[in-house]
Amino acid sequence: MSTEKGGWLARLKKGLERTRVNIVGVFSGGVIDDALFDDLEVALLGADCGAATTSELLAALRDRIKLKGLKTPAEVRDALRDELTKLLAPCEARIDLERARPLVMMVAGVNGAGKTTSIGKLAHWLADQHKTVLLAAGDTFRAAAREQLAIWGERNGVEVIAQKSGDPAAVVFDAVAAARARGIDVLIADTAGRLPTQLHLMDELKRVKRSIGKAMDGAPHEVILVLDGTNGQNALAQVRAFDDAVGLTGLIITKLDGTAKGGVLAAIARERRGRPLPIYFIGVGEKLDDLQPFVAERFAAALVGAD
């Protein structure tokens, strides 16, 4: 725990510092009054929680104050941490790596979200779990993306299936076939975030998904959207659009070590309350081990400063 605290958790806390300072400030006075609730509303909206999530959290807090007879701002802050944890908990889930071999993961997201970087980190994490990994360079639009993935592959001793002027659907088809032939545990397919203008990204992603399905029944087993955590409320629109197109099974939220405010995770959790969308990992830096499983309670504590 102590080494962890000095490492990624410290970076997460540093990243969420602005939000936490604002929220801690709200509870620094001596009394629970309307002004406190007004300030908290501003802080939660400012943290990218969104209007609906913010008003639900405030209502839940008012209920808790009455029900439990909370007397001090510090107690209300703990209650906020608990409400956030409750909201985020359904998003806490692990990928079941054993249910197929190869387990095929398709990774999607807009340009710059952190797909390729996260795939590199994921390959590293999987190697730690003693899984064999193959990567498919499905972002054939950008030569740089293919090279970037190749570098990640090299660092991890993981092979990358790529084609110089490839059609992404063909690349992933070949990669699934290769993974099956070699008895690989996990295949991760990178995809493009932007295409030559005449093509529609979502149509292309559907085609890539179908191609994976043709190469292996039941695949892809995971369709993961990578979201830039600094994008704020726009992340919700991305979740909807990609889910409509390719049916998401989970999320990776990156750059939570940077200027992200963090509340958008709560907004996503609220929107998907009826059918939770797992947040498998969060990205907290650019190094190989800067991808960490999402833990609702830790995240809520880092956001609210009550731990």
Ligand X SMILES: Nc1nc2c(ncn2[C@@H]2O[C@H](COP(=O)(O)OP(=O)(O)O)[C@@H](O)[C@H]2O)c(=O)[nH]1
116 versus 238: smaller Cβ distance to ligand X: 116
Tell me the angle at which helices 17-26 and 73-88 cross, rounded to the nearest 10 degrees.
140
Which of 50, 153, 283, 305 is close enough to bind ligand X by CB under 6 A?
Answer: 283
Say whether residue 293 binds ligand X (CB under 6 A).
no
Alpha-carbon distance of 218 to 84, in angstroms, equals 35
Answer yes or no whether residue 209 interacts with ligand X by CB under 6 A: no
Q: Please state, in angstroms and rounded to a whole number, the distance separating the CA atoms of residues 201 and 193.
A: 7
In whole angstroms, give the CA distance from residue 88 to residue 197: 37
Kindly write out the interface string for residues 169-208 of this chain, putting x where it contacts ligand X by CB under 6 A and - elsewhere.
Answer: ------------------------x---------------
Q: CB under 5 to 8 A by kind: which of Mg ion, ligand X, none does 257 bind?
A: ligand X
Does 109 bind ligand X (CB under 6 A)? Our answer is yes
CB of 218 to ligand X, least distance (A): 26
3-class state of residue 16 by DSSP? coil
Q: How far apart are CA 80 and CA 78, in angstroms?
A: 5
Strands 186-189 and 103-108: what pairing?
Answer: parallel
Q: What angle do CA 10, 73, 270 make, to 5 degrees?
A: 65
Structure tokens at 239: 């979740």
Among 50, 73, 102, 114, binds ligand X (CB under 6 A): 114
Interface pick for ligand X out of 7, 90, 112, 166 (rule CB under 6 A): 112
> Which amino acid is present at 140?
T
**Shortest approach of Mg ion to residue 254 CB, angstroms?**
12
Residues of this chain that interact with ligand X (CB under 6 A) are 109, 111-117, 193, 226, 254-255, 257-258, 283-286, 290
